[in-house]
A and B are shown apart, each in its own frame.
Chain A
């Protein structure tokens, strides 16, 4: 049954197949796998965490596929982005493929400090998070993408509830981001409205885009939105650690956060026991890297063209065999 594709081609999600993999490990894998996988250090399942955005699913399943090619037993577990650290600490979960420096650094640092979780290096993907506007707003607010332009035309982004201030839709409060502070420090004349989830955030964008209505919001890449909607990030004064911590640094001499958001790598995080239990697998995880361009293309194929994650992963595996065989040392 693996070969035929019984999944929806539009809007389908390969969770079911994933679950099959997961189940196999539990149901029959233990007995039947031993013979086939005799060459690896341990046939216990390596548990990879899945979250709910396509990029992470692709990333994780490519890693999973590579480990399977190397003979390891892989299991996928659905877990919350931050809550997963509890599982990584006690070995319930083995590997998390996407910890964004922009949103997960604090949790990652806290976890690695306990000694039970290790940072397994960069995925090669670079996260960008910043204020973003659709291209049609450039006409109404000349001078963009420079942030100074926002000062002059914040009223263009106003709604009845926020007027005369502009309305900026920020990410969920749990993402942090210091947008309220940024607005104040740069004297932007915007009111920050926090979306509760990623889905609500992009629903606002889709709604405004359909009507060509003014909108400015928190967008991050790698994500499908910049591929579907034409637009640009605002150029704020570049981020530096001092800008966040020292009021005197930056455009505003009296306040901190007078610059853009930090950009940074997306890390891989693993249970500290992984290296000892599956040394070969851990080496492959450390070697694994992708590029932003590759990832954006794959995310677009899934979220915009409606391909299944599994098909996209298979295609990557077929066309990059040389790369991943090197990672697993064959």
Chain B
């Protein structure tokens, strides 16, 4: 390979060896030479940033005044505004309208019957695509009824119904603003990076204080988490609109508003729908965390089941989340495809044109009236509920009793030969050396700008006194990312080259992505006990998804001419894979790696629930102690690790693309 002839490669290898030596031997002689501060950042040098943040937050909540009202009154007004439609949706879907408070309340009006809502999604499926989709979403909702998850699922659905439009409209407006004003765009970008990488736990406390306790705070957190992709996709999609279409707008004398809403947004509609889909999926990912601060629904069922060690109950509620997510995802994808193709207007009178709406209206009335007499038509009867809970409980018990020793042996092997040596390496690194190396890597891939940014971010982590926890974070994520890539990339290649395997892997990946990790975290604790290994398994399972996805996508999108050229030249299948498909898929694989790292970092807060000692734990402790400053500073440290990794990998992916002629060097 030509890379090895490059002189800087040798410099890097030498540096790597030096770093390793330093990590192994350093601490010993540092004591002797008075350089201990380089290994263990002195407490006295720590900048009390977290106290400043807490003080600023206190000022914001207690003292900031906009003349007529305080900042807190302002946020509370927002939360009141969000609460009204939310309460209405919730009453319609899940709870009905009640008369009088508490225990003595009577229901005046029941919620929509399960039959009505199922019919409604079937009609939506048919409208968006065809009867097949209608059947899929219909079965999904039927599943929720039959497995007794209906009411919780409807509570979760109502928060998604409220959070998604807010996220989409907010994201769209910010995206349009960023498109119009490049300066705003540049200011917004780092903020979006932070919104996506700071763990939600880090800003839950300020949200609770500002928006009040209850479901609204959970909704606000969901929106903050789910909105950034919408902003990015909007800006990107508007930029990608064909310039001829824009010119046409200019020629016909459009005002700025007309240009945006009549020309650009409709032209970018299909890309925008991808953003909507992202917002929906991310909102559903938030279900568990949102339920920790009062969102209720399926997320709460998962948490409270696992708290009682009712593993079966947790699995059932978790699978209900997966089913709900798949149904909503398929529907929104069908809508996005429908938006990008022109539909012929259906002909005939109103009754025919709005046949689905009339049918649903008829079912609504019928179900309501029949439900007054036979409860079956109102809510699916409890006697017919199915449960698989005992199956999950017994499976875990069986594995635990019969295979525990085997698991223990595997665990010890990984711990002794992989995890612990890596941990020792990272904890042994002196921070000034690490800082220099990170800056150097930045310089190698992205010039002095990236070098400076890397150095400043690392310095932030050091000076706020989080070096050790950050190193444990890097170690835990590092080993998980390596394992996830080792498992995920071959799976992705397999999925791309073998149709049948692709189908199966696709289902597994979809499930892993939407199944709340808490569901499998507790069984994993039972089989592997509390410790880094358990945390690693949870991270690998979650971070595997993008590794598989991007590898598959990369291999699939290699230009067929190139593969054919290989076939003509007489390549074997193995040669086709290693000489043509994989090298050309490399940029995609690198992007997948990037996403794997992001997901691994975002799992840290969840693994803190098992008991790790990294930045995730710091954020979690801050949450339970309601310490805004501590949580935000630790959250920023995690975000900075993510951003450093992201920038380095993006830069190297770009240079890989240039090397294979997929991108112009000046592009």
Q: What B residues does A325 contact at CB under 8 A? A: none
Q: What B residues does A47 contact at CB under 8 A? A: 213
| B603-651 with Cβ < 8 A to chain A | 607-612, 617, 620-621, 623-626
| In the complex, B296 has a CB within 8 A of chain A | yes
Q: What B residues does A32 contact at CB under 8 A? A: 99-100
| Interface pair A29/B617, CB less than 8 Å apart | no
Mark the stretch among B338-346, B525-533, B658-666 that contacts chain A.
Answer: B525-533
- Known contacts: A1-B107, A23-B90. The answer to whether A92 contacts B213 by CB under 8 A is yes
| B14-36 with Cβ < 8 A to chain A | none
Q: Which of the residues A22, A54, A81, A195 comes within 8 Å of B610, measured between beta carbons?
A: A195
Q: Which of the residues A13, A78, A169, A213 comes within 8 Å of B214, measured between beta carbons?
A: A78
| B280-330 with Cβ < 8 A to chain A | 291-296, 300-301, 303-310, 312-313
A99-115 interface bits toward B, Cβ cutoff 8 Å, 1 = contact, 0 = none: 00000000000000000
| In the complex, B13 has a CB within 8 A of chain A | no
B98-121 interface bits toward A, Cβ cutoff 8 Å, 1 = contact, 0 = none: 111111111110100000000000
| Interface pair A203/B526, CB less than 8 Å apart | yes
| B526-546 with Cβ < 8 A to chain A | 526-527, 529-531
| In the complex, A248 has a CB within 8 A of chain B | no
| Interface pair B313/A11, CB less than 8 Å apart | yes
| Interface pair B389/A10, CB less than 8 Å apart | yes
| Interface pair A52/B303, CB less than 8 Å apart | yes
Q: What B residues does A82 contact at CB under 8 A? A: 624-626
A325 to chain B, nearest CB (A): 16
CA distance A82 to B295 in the complex (A): 18
| In the complex, A19 has a CB within 8 A of chain B | yes
A96 to chain B, nearest CB (A): 11
| In the complex, B379 has a CB within 8 A of chain A | yes
CA distance A37 to B300 in the complex (A): 32
A129-169 interface bits toward B, Cβ cutoff 8 Å, 1 = contact, 0 = none: 00000000000000000000000000000011100000001
Mark the stretch among A204-212, A260-268, A271-279 that contacts chain B.
Answer: A204-212
| Interface pair B530/A16, CB less than 8 Å apart | no
- Known contacts: A32-B100, A86-B208. The answer to whether A198 contacts B401 by CB under 8 A is no
| Interface pair B309/A78, CB less than 8 Å apart | no
| In the complex, B96 has a CB within 8 A of chain A | yes
| In the complex, B408 has a CB within 8 A of chain A | yes
How many A residues are at the interface, by size bracket?
35 or more
CA distance A295 to B179 in the complex (A): 60
Chain A residue, CB-CB nearest to B98: A24
- Known contacts: A29-B101, A196-B608, A210-B400. The answer to whether A78 contacts B213 by CB under 8 A is yes
Q: Which of the residues A28, A85, A199 comes within 8 Å of B309, measured between beta carbons?
A: A199
Q: What A residues does B107 contact at CB under 8 A? A: 1-2
B64 to chain A, nearest CB (A): 15
- Known contacts: A16-B95, A54-B308, A200-B525. The answer to whether A6 contacts B151 by CB under 8 A is yes
Q: What B residues does A65 contact at CB under 8 A? A: 102-103
| In the complex, A290 has a CB within 8 A of chain B | no
CA distance A84 to B213 in the complex (A): 8
| In the complex, B577 has a CB within 8 A of chain A | no
Q: How many A-B residue pairs have CB under 8 A?
A: 226
- Known contacts: A193-B611, A195-B610, A200-B611. The answer to whether A83 contacts B101 by CB under 8 A is no
Q: What B residues does A207 contact at CB under 8 A? A: 400, 404, 525-527, 529
| Interface pair A16/B152, CB less than 8 Å apart | yes
| Interface pair A196/B610, CB less than 8 Å apart | yes
CA distance A32 to B408 in the complex (A): 61
| In the complex, B193 has a CB within 8 A of chain A | no
Q: Which of the residues B90, B306, B412, B611 comes within 8 Å of A160, measured between beta carbons?
A: B412
Q: What A residues does B379 contact at CB under 8 A? A: 6
Q: Which of the residues B292, B397, B617 comes within 8 Å of A196, measured between beta carbons?
A: B617
| Interface pair B87/A23, CB less than 8 Å apart | yes
CA distance A37 to B99 in the complex (A): 13
Main secondary structure of the interface of B (DSSP, over half): helix
How many B residues are at the interface, by size bracket?
35 or more
Chain B residue, CB-CB nearest to A83: B626
Chain B residue, CB-CB nearest to A169: B530
Q: Which of the residues B397, B412, B522, B621 comes within 8 Å of A174, measured between beta carbons?
A: B621
| B60-93 with Cβ < 8 A to chain A | 83, 87, 90-91
Q: What B residues does A26 contact at CB under 8 A? A: 83, 87
Q: What B residues does A36 contact at CB under 8 A? A: 100, 104
Q: Which of the residues A79, A86, A161, A193 comes within 8 Å of B294, measured between beta carbons?
A: A79
CA distance A198 to B205 in the complex (A): 21
| Interface pair B375/A74, CB less than 8 Å apart | no
CA distance A85 to B293 in the complex (A): 14
A164 to chain B, nearest CB (A): 16
- Known contacts: A27-B87, A198-B307. The answer to whether A68 contacts B152 by CB under 8 A is no
| Interface pair A161/B626, CB less than 8 Å apart | no
Q: What A residues does B446 contact at CB under 8 A? A: none
| Interface pair A10/B87, CB less than 8 Å apart | no
CA distance A282 to B196 in the complex (A): 44
Chain B residue, CB-CB nearest to A106: B625
| Interface pair A21/B102, CB less than 8 Å apart | yes
Chain A residue, CB-CB nearest to B607: A196
| Interface pair B101/A200, CB less than 8 Å apart | no
| Interface pair B296/A78, CB less than 8 Å apart | yes
| In the complex, B387 has a CB within 8 A of chain A | yes
Q: What B residues does A16 contact at CB under 8 A? A: 94-95, 151-152, 155, 296
What are 23 A-B residue pairs whose CB atoms fall within 8 Å in the complex? A10-B313, A11-B313, A16-B95, A32-B100, A37-B101, A47-B213, A49-B213, A68-B102, A77-B214, A77-B294, A78-B291, A78-B300, A79-B208, A86-B208, A86-B626, A160-B412, A161-B531, A169-B530, A195-B611, A196-B617, A197-B611, A202-B309, A303-B308
Given A73-B101, A80-B623, A194-B611, 16 more pairs with CB closer than 8 A? A1-B110, A5-B382, A13-B305, A23-B95, A28-B100, A32-B99, A52-B304, A78-B293, A86-B208, A87-B213, A161-B412, A200-B525, A203-B523, A207-B400, A210-B397, A211-B401
A residues with a Cβ closer than 8 A to B are 1-2, 4-11, 13, 15-16, 19-29, 32-33, 36-37, 45, 47, 49, 52-54, 64-65, 68, 73-74, 77-87, 92-93, 159-161, 169, 172-174, 193-200, 202-204, 206-207, 210-211, 213, 224, 303
Closest 8 CB pairs of A and B: A78-B294, A11-B313, A196-B611, A207-B526, A24-B98, A68-B102, A203-B525, A1-B107
